[in-house]
């Protein structure tokens, strides 16, 4: 039995190659569309992950409009596991003033060094956001 298991095992990956094993964690999308005013400002996106991971997970934002930037809190996320119910980190996106009215499509990402997962985050740019 032991010999059969060894023969059936896949060959070891070469150094520097990305793993072909599916991730055992999933970036969870709990966020509805959001609003940012034409005055700009900072919006926060909670990072929820379901599953387990053996390496730290870094998080961030991409596809930002000109003049926008992001920072993170509680990142990278240490190796561990989560049910996906509680936020493990936050991505703060600072939007500049004078954004044109319309929508902004931002991408929120999480990367464990083997796989990068991302979620869309749509923000409406309005003169007022109702708060």
In 3D, which of 75, 58, 65, 25 has the Cα closest to residue 43? 65
Phi, psi of 7 (to 5 degrees): -65, -35
The predicted-structure confidence for 12-64, as pLDDT tens digits, reads as follows 444 444 545 567 999 999 876 789 999 999 999 999 999 999 999 999 999 99
Instruction: Using CB atoms within 10 Å of the CB of residue 31, give its burial: 0 to 12 exposed, 13 to 18 middle, 19+ buried.
Output: middle
Q: Does pLDDT of 6 surpass 50?
A: no
| pLDDT tens digits along 76-114 | 999 999 999 999 999 999 999 999 999 999 999 999 999
Yes or no: is domain 24-126 CATH 2.60.40.10?
yes
């Amino acid at each position: 039995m032991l010999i059969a298991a060894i023969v059936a095992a896949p060959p070891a990956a070469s150094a520097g190659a990305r793993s072909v094993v599916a991730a055992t964690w999933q970036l969870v999308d709990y966020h509805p569309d959001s609003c940012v005013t034409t005055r700009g400002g900072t919006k926060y996106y909670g990072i929820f992950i379901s599953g387990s991971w053996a390496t730290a997970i870094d998080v961030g934002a991409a596809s930002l409009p000109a003049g926008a930037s992001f920072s993170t809190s509680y990142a990278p996320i240490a190796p561990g596991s989560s049910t996906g119910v509680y936020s493990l980190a936050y991505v703060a996106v600072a939007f500049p003033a004078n954004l044109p009215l319309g929508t902004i499509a931002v991408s929120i990402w999480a990367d464990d060094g083997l796989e990068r997962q991302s979620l869309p985050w749509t923000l409406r740019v309005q003169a007022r956001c109702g708060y």
